[in-house]
Amino acid sequence: MESISLVAVASIAIAGLTMAIGSIGPSSGMGQAIQQALSAIAQQPDERNSLTRTLFVGLAMIESIAIYCFVISMIVIFANPFWTHFVKAGG
């Protein structure tokens, strides 16, 4: 297998692993945050607006971690710095 093909396969595999592993944490964190928020709303219904607003801000911050993983995987696939090195070395 040529070195450029090996870099392509490794880039795609690493991008897939980045998205797979990088999605596990945020998804479990979001589930736990929603569970705790619903429990708090059930205990104190009068504070629903405050809890909901805080929940959405927290969920947005948790979601940003998954978005960062997506951006990193796109960089690895489309803007990989190793591509130019191996293309120049290959001729």
Mean pLDDT of 31-58: 94
Better-scored residue on pLDDT, 6 or 33 = 33
In a domain, 56, yes or no: yes
Neighbours of 14 (CB within 10 A): 15
Distance CA 54, CA 62 (A): 12
In a domain, 2, yes or no: no
For residue 76, pLDDT beyond 90? no
Lowest mean pLDDT, pick from 24-28, 50-54, 70-74, 80-84: 80-84
Give the pTM: 0.74
For residue 14, pLDDT beyond 80? yes
In a domain, 1, yes or no: no
Distance CA 69, CA 72 (A): 5
In a domain, 57, yes or no: yes
Question: What is the tally of structural domains in the chain?
Answer: 1
- CATH number of the domain residue 50 falls in: 1.20.20.10
Domain that holds residue 42: 26-90
In a domain, 6, yes or no: no
Q: pLDDT confidence of 55, banded at 50, 70, 90?
A: very high
In a domain, 12, yes or no: no
